[in-house]
Amino acid sequence: MRRLLLVVWLGLLTVAAGLVPGLLLGPPWAALAAPPLALLVWGWVMLERNWRSWRYTERADDLLISRGVLWRTTTVVPYGRMQLVEVTSGPVERHFGLASVQLHTAAAASDATVPGLDPAEAERLRDRLTELGEARSAGL
């Protein structure tokens, strides 16, 4: 899904950067398409690396979410601190059969998201986290 969005936006930019100057100023100016094209190729590779870096693990007392290629981020959300677990899916995500699970806690900085899940898996995870959160509710 992200690769499609990358190709659409940077593909349009590449065509515009090469076609418009090439037609108006001459063929040598069509080389202005090279930087957006290079960015598109680099983005294609980086998106896969980023996608493969996402992990989540349901542990006994908490949910562990890790992500990142260069800068690794690990988030641990205790089940008892979860206040809201929701499944979201925008129009592009729905088209590709994807959904995200978003966890909300009392601390704004500790909200966590698990993107790119199959909708059935997202609903299963939401139900499981809700069940564990109610069972281990720590209260405020």
The 10s digit of each residue's pLDDT in 11-62 is: 888 888 888 887 778 888 878 888 888 898 998 888 888 888 899 999 989 9
Residue 139 makes CB contacts below 8 A (sequence gap 6+) with none
Report pTM: 0.72
Q: Using one digit for the tens of pLDDT, what is the confidence trace for 108-120?
A: 676 689 998 999 9
